[in-house]
Amino acid sequence: MTLAHELGHGIHQVLSAKQGYLMADTPLTLAETASIFGEMLTFQSLLSKTQSKEERKIILAGKVSDMLNSIMRQISFSLFEHKFHDIRRDHELSTEEICDIWMETQKKPWTLC
């Protein structure tokens, strides 16, 4: 799945290369759409070739777990960016402050579960 995901990023970059270096970059949401598309094609192919119900349940449970983790990770990243920029408006942040914000925001979404 990871290889398929990263290959999706690679294919997207190759296809957008003719836009030129300054125009080929995309926001995270668009970049992730391309990579998740490749990942889902691989997932569907694996699932369709699965013979037993038990294996099918394991593959589906793993995909649900991956999807939930992806959502929580994106929430964590967003919380970090918001907090970082809110504090940055008041003063320049030290490396230690940035690390503290990172650690705080990476733990916080998981406590919501």
What is the per-residue pLDDT across 47-75, written as a single tens digit (0 to 9) for each?
A: 999 999 999 999 999 999 888 888 888 88
What per-residue confidence (pLDDT) applies to 108? 62
Distance CA 82, CA 84 (A): 6
- Check: CB of residue 36 under 8 Å from CB of residue 5: yes
Helix ranges (DSSP H) in 49-94: 53-88
What per-residue confidence (pLDDT) applies to 43? 92
Write the pLDDT tens digit of every residue in 81-90.
999 999 999 9
Model confidence pTM above 0.75:
no
pLDDT cut 70: percent of the chain above it: 94
